[in-house]
Amino acid sequence: MFHKFEAGTPAIAEGIGLGAAVDYLLNVGLDRIHQHEQAIIAYALERLEEVPGVTVLGPKAERKGGVAAFTLAGVHPHDIAQILDTDGIAVRAGHHCAMPLHDRFQIPATARASFYLYNTTEEVDKLINGLYKVKELFG
Amino acid sequence: MADIMDDMYREVILDHYKNPRNRGKLEPADISYEDDNPLCGDRIRIDIRLDENRRVKEVAFSGQGCAISQASASMLTEEIVGKSVDDLKQISKEDILELLGIELGPVRLKCALLSLKVLKAGVYGLDKTTDSPNSTDQSA
């Protein structure tokens, strides 16, 4: 009966893809992924806070996932992102679909680095070096 | 450093960003307009005073945003002093890109052209300062 309300082809490929993704993650182990994410975000926040002029927003590492939103004094996040991009480091810049929150903190935008199971601490170091480059350029 | 970065953050752009020309507000002004790019949070206000021949006597800009948006506004204010209102209407997107002297992708193009958009809106008689126009591009 319900078939008559189904327009077009169902998302068969997507369903199979989702199954494969779930298998992959369960195979790695959700606990291990969570541990890795916690370890890398803790390291990233620690390194970010070392950089003069950087302000990290949001809760401490143990209370969040692998995302680090930050500002760098005197440099707009779009400029940060653009310069990091030339070193192959992809961060998001802007409101991240949370404009009222940025208004609340009275900041025009933030830069945001995201980490997951495929990221390494070496990549965090690369991000930090990139931020020093940004500072040098805008110093 | 990579070529793209040298291009986009040319000395002249960083200079205008760090040492903006004509920064401030003119109150009262003959033309005054403010707008933003809601996606990135760039905001520019331009105030203009005209002389008796309807030419730009004084101009000031204020606002905040990335280096491209602020440098572009600073350069534009230098460019328009002495120009007539009709001259201002003739300024094109290409003129701004020539001032900046860089190649820009679609996202950064909006940063570069915000000051021109504000200038045009002001000149074409929308001479009011709006606090939060929230006009377009709400997909942030």
For residues B138 and B38, the answer to whether their CB atoms sit within 8 Å is yes
Q: Is there a domain that residue A76 lies in?
A: yes
Residue A50: what residue type?
A: E
Per the CB < 8 Å rule, is A82 touching B8? Answer: yes
Match 């940060």 to its residue by tokens: A80
Pairwise CA distance, residues A113 & A98, whole Å: 16
Domain with A67 in it: what CATH number? 3.90.1150.10
pLDDT tens sequence for chain A (139 residues): 677 787 888 899 999 999 999 999 999 999 999 999 999 999 999 999 999 999 999 999 999 999 999 999 999 999 999 999 989 999 999 889 998 999 899 988 999 999 999 999 999 999 999 999 999 998 7
- Which of B1, B3, B4, B5 should one mutate to test binding to chain A, selecting the residue with the greatest count of A CBs within 10 A? B5
Q: Is there a domain that residue A17 lies in?
A: no
Q: Is there a domain that residue A110 lies in?
A: yes
Residues of A forming the active site: 97
Give the ipTM of the model, two decimals please. Answer: 0.71
Q: Is there a domain that residue A92 lies in?
A: yes
Q: Is there a domain that residue A16 lies in?
A: no
Q: Binning pLDDT at 50, 70 and 90, where does residue B127 land?
A: very low
Q: Is there a domain that residue A4 lies in?
A: no
Per the CB < 8 Å rule, is A108 touching B9? Answer: no
How many separate domains does chain A show?
1
What is the per-residue DSSP string for B85-119? HHHHHH--HHHHHHHHT----HHHHHHHHHHHHHH
Q: pTM, whole model, 2 decimals? A: 0.79
Q: Is there a domain that residue A1 lies in?
A: no
- Which of B14, B43, B66, B104 should one mutate to test binding to chain A, selecting the residue with the greatest count of A CBs within 10 A? B66
Chain B residues in contact with A137 by the CB 8 A cut-off are: 1, 5, 9, 14
Considering CB atoms only, which of B5, B38, B41 is closest to A86? B5
Q: Binning pLDDT at 50, 70 and 90, where does residue B2 land?
A: very low
For residues B39 and B140, the answer to whether their CB atoms sit within 8 Å is yes
Q: Binning pLDDT at 50, 70 and 90, where does residue B131 land?
A: very low
Q: Is the pLDDT of residue B7 over 80?
A: no
Q: Is there a domain that residue A78 lies in?
A: yes
Per the CB < 8 Å rule, is A86 touching B14? Answer: no
Chain A residues in contact with B4 by the CB 8 A cut-off are: 86
Considering CB atoms only, which of B18, B43, B140 is closest to A94? B140
**Which residues fall within 8 angstroms of residue A40, CB to CB, at 6 or more apart?**
A66, A115, A119, A120, A121, A124
User: What range does the domain containing A106 cover?
Assistant: 29-137
